[in-house]
Structure 1
Amino acid sequence: MATNTLSQPRNTFGALGQLVPGLMLCMVIAAAASFVSGQYGGPKFLYALLIGMAFHFLADNGKCLPGIEVAAKKLVRIGVALLGVRIAVSDIHAIGTVGVFALAGAVGLTIGFSLLLARVLRLPPMLGLLSGGATGICGISAAMAISATLPQSRDNEHFTLLTAIGVAAFSTAAMVLYPLVVSATGLATAEAGLFLGGAIHDVAQVVGAGFMISTDVGDAATLAKMFRVAMLMPVVVVLMVLFHQDRVAAGGAGAAKQPLVPGFLMVFVALVIVNSLGWLPSEVITLSSDLSKWCLVISIAALGVKTSFEKLAELGWQPIALLLGNALFIAGYMLSVVFLVRLWSAA
């Protein structure tokens, strides 16, 4: 009896020890990506993806594989859960009724458009869902969160990685080009904030584009973007319900025991509520937000390690056309909304 009791901690430490090599690999890649991003600019998520793909030869290594799998599938849930500290209900009130409906429409219509375009391009619906959600909500974070609701397969991992690479590239291009659109169309501060916050994919690029113009535009754009981030919660809940049986079928008996609404999503909702009530000190919000970013960067690095350029190349040109179409659609939609509101106000 005593022998069994003593062996349990050893087995636990042994299982944890098997995760160390793969986790350390992904953490070093994430640190390198963050350093390059901090020193030379550019999205650290994209750097983590590309550096991770350079280490694909370790994906089948028996010592690294367990840690890589945990980083790719478990850390993303922690990162998404902690995103809740960045959202408060008061943000929704500050946007106004028109802004709320416009931004909610951007999310729903972009996902619908992406599914339709994927069908036209003869691409899998899962890729259309991932790319539409990532473009419409909050970039790579949304892609990772939506991926967690889908049946886990190698194809879906490839689609997630492809979406992440494309979204990072198009979001960076949007950060550079959309301020020129604001200048060319003569948008006012509130209009520019709504357009940038509603059309650019990732939070960091929204902040960069907004503050390129002015502090007021940067604040307005960030506020609009955070509402789109808040839309992640209902979208993920809906997808969890829709794909529950598919996840059970793909995961076997173990998946059948999982709750319909997972723990990471309940933590996300709880943090939104607590933050809305003002119970979280600014230090806790900052720390949790930073931890969320690190978890997502490490997770995307792991996803990069698991996928090769050769497999991505096999997907062809259609996914690029899909991502470009989504980016143009949401930008055109937000510009149309801005000009319609301007005409309505002038009437």
Structure 2
Amino acid sequence: MTVSSNMQELDGLPAFDFPDADAEAEAKVDADAEPKAKLPDAASVAWRISVDAYDSEEEWESAFARFLKAVDTTEVRALIVGAWSDAYDSAPDEVIGAIIAASDQLPCLRALFVGDITYEECEISWINQTDMAPLINGLPQLRSFGVRGGQLLGMTGVKHERLRSLTVETGGLDAAVVREIGAAELPALEHLDIWLGTSGYGANTIVADLEPFLTGARLPALKSLALRNSEIQDHIAAALAGAPVVARLETLDLSMGTLGDEGAEALLGGQPLTHLKKLDLHHHYLSEPMRERIRATLEPAGVIVDLSECESARGDDWRYTAVAE
């Protein structure tokens, strides 16, 4: 599976596409036509700014500059960075620089996502990224940050006192980035979501690299942990069976990966999970008896269990993550 559609919302706000340059020009010159729809209130939507993914006539920074002039940015709460030109070949350093330079104009910005790019624009494992630490650290008012694409991604020296949610979506994440996230100083972080991906697209994480998340010692506020879209899902499940962090989680997410009966057996045989509000295992390779055992163990305690997308019904021995290329 690939990422086939853009984000519909961010931080509880519906996504809204800021008009491209041609649409804006048409709205200005076509005075005799029917009135154009007005832009929504700045605080009411998550603003998505994108340009053509291939050979765009406008650079993303130019579109962002138009946005800064057209919208009351002092009220903007959420921003989505869509495609920039040739994301498969160029890192978004200018994009990051433009946002940091405009930080004083975005005092209410609470949520930011970089790389809302579909497979038709650029496959997830082809998206070139860059070190996100200057951006995260440069926006101290942020509460939620997400990024898609692991190529050249960095998280070196992330330090943020208020960030509550961090999401990293990849088809293959280098273990060095995982370790950088593990070393980050994020005392307020409540939700961590990492798509580890497959070795065919650069993933090389081993369980030892996940130790900071398993102990939770550096994440005192963590309530929701997602280590997913991984081809080592059984090993992760086994490690979580005795991981100290689990006892204080409300949500545990091992979805989108290659979880099979071996991993589920280890997870159920470890510490109790009945305190969880939700256990998300969708897109898995569990047998029907194991699925029934999970339900019988957790659902009577009120745990919401997502066992949808049973891939074991495919009838082959090869296991796939939900998102790779």
Common topology (TM > 0.5): no
TM interval, short-chain normalised: under 0.3
The structure with the largest helix share of the pair is 1
TM-score, structure 1 as length reference: 0.21
TM-score scaled by structure 2?
0.22
Higher strand share: 2
